[in-house]
Amino acid sequence: MSDIYFSQIREDSLVEREISRIVRPQKVLVVGSGGCTAFSILTDTINQVLCVDVNPAQCALIELKKAAIQHFSLNDFLSFIGETKCDNRGEMYEEMAEELPEYARHFWKLHRSEIEMGINHCGINERFYRFIGENICRNVYDETVWNQLFSAKNLAEQQRFYEEYLTTAQWRTAVKILLSKTTHLQFFPSFMFKNASEHDFGNFFLSQFEKEVKTRPIHNNYFLSQILFSTYLYDHVEGVPFYLTPEGYEEVKRNIDKMFIYPMSIQNLLEKENSIDAFYLSNVFDWADEKGKASICSRVIQAKSANSVLIFRNMLSTSILPDRFIRDEELSLRCETLERSMLYQKITVGQFV
Ligand SMILES: C[S@@+](CC[C@H](N)C(=O)[O-])C[C@H]1O[C@@H](n2cnc3c(N)ncnc32)[C@H](O)[C@@H]1O
C-alpha cells in the first residue's frame, strides 16, 4: 500500500462550507486527502458525504480520524492526532482498532510509529513543510519576526512587514531553493512534477504570498502557521479547520454516521452513484491527464442531480472542462477571496448543464 501524502488538507474548507451554505446539498462527493474538508462539511443539514480517495493510505487515515471522533472528546482527539502532547496514543488506538475496516487496520499495523508521532503530522507533505518551516525559521527569519506578521493589526502594518522582510534577496533566494523542483523531488514522486520547471513553485509561492500579505488579514491564516511552525491558530476565529473547533467538533460527532469512505477512484465510485448534489473535487484535475479529466467529467455528468454544483482548484495550471460546464463567475470569485492556503491560482465553481 502507498504512503500517506497528506495528513492535513492544504485547501481552505471555508470555500466548501460557503458553497454548502448557499446550495444546501443533501448528498456530496468530496475528495478525501487528509479528511479536513469532508469532516468540516459534515453538518446537520447534510444527508450523505461520500469521501473518496484513490490512495487507500489516505482512506486509512480518514477512517482512523473518523473512529477517533466517535470515541474521544475534542481535547483527547487533538492529543491523539498529535496537536497536543500525549503519551498513550498506542493505547488510544487499541480502543478503536477493532472498529476499523480490515484494510485500514492492516495499514496501521504496519505504521504504528506514525500513530505514536500523531497522525496529523505523518504525511509526506507534512514532512516537506516541516523541512521548509524549520529551514526558514533557522536560517532566514525566526519566530519573533513572523509573530510581528501574525500580530499585525491592519493591512498597512502587513504591507510594511512585506517591504521590510519579504523583498530581500535573502528571503527570495531561500524560497526559491526550498520550493524548487529539486527540493520537492526529495519528498515527492516525479510524476507529480512532470510539467513543472525548476522554479515554478518558488516563483508561484512568492507571488501568492505577496498577494496574501498585502491584501488579506494574516492573523488567522493557519495555512501559513502550519508551514512555518506546524501549528494551527487555536485562539483565532477560523484559525483551525471548522471540525477542530468546539462547535464544529460537536456537529461532526452528531453527523459522523453520514460519512462513507471509499478507497477507490472518483471514476469507479461514480459508476454506481447517482443524485449527487455537490462535487468537491480538490485539485484532482491538476493530477489527471486529458483522458482522466474527461472520464471524471463524464462520470460526474452521469451521477449528478439536476442542479448539482462542482468545485475544483488549480495550482500552477488551469483546466478546461467540456463545453457543458458553465463557470459561475461570481461564486468562483467569492471562493477565491475566501481561500487562504495560497496554493491555488484559480478556484472554479460551476455546473454541468
Ligand atoms: C488531488 S490531491 C491534492 C492534495 C490537496 N490539494 C491537499 O491539500 O490535500 C488530493 C487527493 O486526491 C487523490 N486523488 C487524485 N486523483 C484522484 C481520483 N481520480 N480519484 C480519487 N482520488 C484522487 C489523491 O490520492 C490525494 O490524496
User: What would the DSSP string read from start to end of 18-35?
Assistant: HHHHHH--SEEEEE-TTS
310-349 confidence digits (pLDDT tens):
999 999 888 888 889 999 999 999 999 999 999 999 999 9
Residues 6+ apart with CB under 8 A from 342: 205, 208, 209, 211, 212, 223, 224
- What pLDDT, on the 0 to 100 scale, is given for residue 322? 82
Residues 6+ apart with CB under 8 A from 158: 149, 152, 213, 214, 217, 218
Q: Where are the domains of the chain?
A: 14-121+245-352, 145-229
- Which atom of ligand 1 lies nearest, measured to the CA of 266? 20
Q: What is the mean pLDDT of residues 260-288?
A: 97
133 in helix, strand or coil? helix
Which among 3, 33, 129, 265 is the best mutation to test ligand 1's pocket, defined by most ligand atoms within 8 Å of the CB?
33
- Which atom of ligand 1 lies nearest, measured to the CA of 296? 19
Q: How far is the CA of 282 from the centre of ligand 1 (A)?
A: 7
- What pLDDT, on the 0 to 100 scale, is given for residue 1? 56
Ligand 1 binding residues, C-beta < 6 A: 5-6, 9-11, 31, 33-34, 52-55, 58, 265-266, 282-284, 287
CA 332 to chain centroid, in Å, comes to 18
163 pLDDT above the threshold of 90:
yes
User: What would the DSSP string read from start to end of 320-352?
Assistant: PPPTTEEE-HHHHHHHHHH--SS--SEEEEEEE
Q: How far is the CA of 124 from the centre of ligand 1 (A)?
A: 14
Give Cα separations from 81 to 69, 84, 98 (angstroms).
10, 8, 18
Give the integer Cα–Cα distance in Å for 274 and 200.
Answer: 39
56-106 confidence digits (pLDDT tens):
999 999 999 999 999 999 999 999 999 999 999 999 999 999 999 999 999
**Which of 65, 55, 49, 69 has the alpha carbon at shortest distance from 280?**
49
182-239 confidence digits (pLDDT tens):
999 999 998 888 778 999 999 999 999 999 999 999 999 999 999 999 999 999 999 9
Nearest CA to ligand 1 atom 18: 265
Q: How far is the CA of 203 from the centre of ligand 1 (A)?
A: 23
| Phi, psi for residue 104 in degrees, rounded to 5 | -75, -40
Q: What is the mean pLDDT of residues 15-39?
A: 98
Q: How far is the CA of 156 from the centre of ligand 1 (A)?
A: 37
Nearest CA to ligand 1 atom 15: 284
Which CATH fold topology does 14-121+245-352 show?
A: Rossmann fold (3.40.50)
Q: What average pLDDT is seen over the chain? A: 96
**Which of 244, 238, 245 has the alpha carbon at shortest distance from 220?**
238
Residues 6+ apart with CB under 8 A from 297: 321, 322, 325, 352
Nearest CA to ligand 1 atom 16: 284
Nearest CA to ligand 1 atom 13: 53
- Which atom of ligand 1 lies nearest, measured to the CA of 10? 8
- Which atom of ligand 1 lies nearest, measured to the CA of 315? 6
**Which of 36, 94, 59 has the alpha carbon at shortest distance from 222?**
36
Tell me the sheet residues that pair with 27.
Answer: 48
Q: How far is the CA of 178 from the centre of ligand 1 (A)?
A: 23
Percent of the chain at pLDDT above 70? 100
**Which of 222, 177, 225 has the alpha carbon at shortest distance from 201?**
177
Residues 6+ apart with CB under 8 A from 305: 27, 274, 275, 276, 277
116 pLDDT above the threshold of 70:
yes
Q: Hey, what's the torsion of the CAs at 73, 28, 44, 254, to 10 degrees? A: -30
Which among 31, 126, 191 is the best mutation to test ligand 1's pocket, defined by most ligand atoms within 8 Å of the CB?
31
